[in-house]
Structure 1
């Protein structure tokens, strides 16, 4: 592989944490306007729209983390992966990415089946990442130590994403009430409570992304 191609693959993988952390920071900041009582309802709804849109950057980055990492590991000779297997992995994760965007763009009862499928994939990916990482550390799977650790960290990121989804459950009826009835102390309290609960989880997720980035740069044995 040419130095330019290898540099482009490295850049592609580096863009994952860049957009992941950048998108999360944008969503984190936008959430403050959602609960600002000095903002009009229209401004708060605009903040929600911006938050939801920006949040697709980290969601996209999470899905692309593994396929970009695998193709880079194969190019650098860290993993012996045949081309057809890499192509299959990329096809599967691009299909998952298309599903995640469909869940984001579609609304109403018809989107519920897509949401459940996306959720099932996340649980399956978590199990595969955690199992592969643990097997690599135990010597049951031929993996460099830093790749096994990165798989475990990515599994942790997927798990925390699932935790955040559960923490966000009370937010959705509160947003419906906010749109329908306007701001009320009860609705604002629910929204502030959800944001307060999710923020520590998101910050732990940020720390895991930084750990994964460090492992990729340090490449310990």
Structure 2
């Protein structure tokens, strides 16, 4: 039986997008009770654990979208880097996924926080690289030779920024709960959690709109 590898990559790309969008909705809803100070601390921690367990799926999907999108783009002839470069990208992303999974399994510990910070530092390189390549291509027509693909890369970089901010929020949850456990009730920490959560919920709507737009660009290829 012959399998078209391009179609397999396209299938994986769709799955990653679906889990990204759906998973973020799950995290959004699971996070609501985390800032509810009327609940016991144990109950709130259970909801935080649920949010973390859901979040690892979209977090992994986001990382995998990078090599999947670049590979599909090369197959379509809209981005020039293939061959050994793509192999290197897949190896790099395998390391990145392993790092994200390790941070997940070590969550709530000092090691987990350090691993999360390394994960975040990778994004500091990937985000500007995607953004400037996308914008440059939109202006000049290259190296990303299709405008829909360049727009998608630019938008993806913006969504990674939002995702990074939301990662900061989740890291703050861990730090705040560690302080509440060790020091007892603290109105200042509770107020900070409420403020951060209100901001992140508004940001989530922008996030979802961006993910939907990315899916539209990749499917319809309007320009």
TM-score by length of 2: 0.85
Post-superposition shift, 1:174?
2.5
Cα distance change, pair 173–79 in 1 and its aligned pair in 2 (3 A): closer
Give the distance between the partners of 1:99 and 1:32, measured in 2 at CA: 27
**Aligned partner of 2:209 among 201, 207, 218:** 207
Q: Please say if residues 153 and 208 of structure 1, whose CA atoms lie closer than 8 Å, have aligned partners that are also in contact.
A: yes
Instruction: Give unmatched runs, 5+ long, in structure 1.
Output: none
**Aligned partner of 1:143 among 142, 145, 152:** 145
Q: Are 1:120 and 2:129 an aligned pair?
A: no
Give the distance between the partners of 1:155 and 1:138, measured in 2 at CA: 17
Q: Secondary structure of 1:55's partner?
A: helix
Matches for 1:140-219 after TM superposition, within 5 Å: 140-167=142-169, 170-180=172-182, 186-219=188-221
- Judge which range, 180-189 or 81-90, deviates more: 180-189
Cα distance change, pair 36–142 in 1 and its aligned pair in 2 (3 A): closer
Q: Secondary structure of 2:133's partner?
A: helix
Aligned-CA RMSD value:
2.5
Q: Secondary structure of 1:25's partner?
A: helix
Q: Please say if residues 35 and 197 of structure 2, whose CA atoms lie closer than 8 Å, have aligned partners that are also in contact.
A: no
Match of 1:53 in 2: 53
Task: Report how many residues are paired.
Answer: 220
Instruction: Give unmatched runs, 5+ long, in structure 2.
Output: none
Give the distance between the partners of 2:157 and 2:8, measured in 1 at CA: 25
Deviations 1:141-195 (A, max 9, x none): 2421111001101110111123334455654442123334666655443322221
Match of 1:33 in 2: 33
Give the distance between the partners of 2:38 and 2:138, measured in 1 at CA: 52
Cα distance change, pair 200–4 in 1 and its aligned pair in 2 (3 A): same
Q: Please say if residues 79 and 143 of structure 2, whose CA atoms lie closer than 8 Å, have aligned partners that are also in contact.
A: no
- Judge which range, 186-195 or 95-104, deviates more: 186-195
Q: Please say if residues 41 and 182 of structure 1, whose CA atoms lie closer than 8 Å, have aligned partners that are also in contact.
A: no
Match of 2:71 in 1: 71
- Judge which range, 46-55 or 182-191, deviates more: 182-191
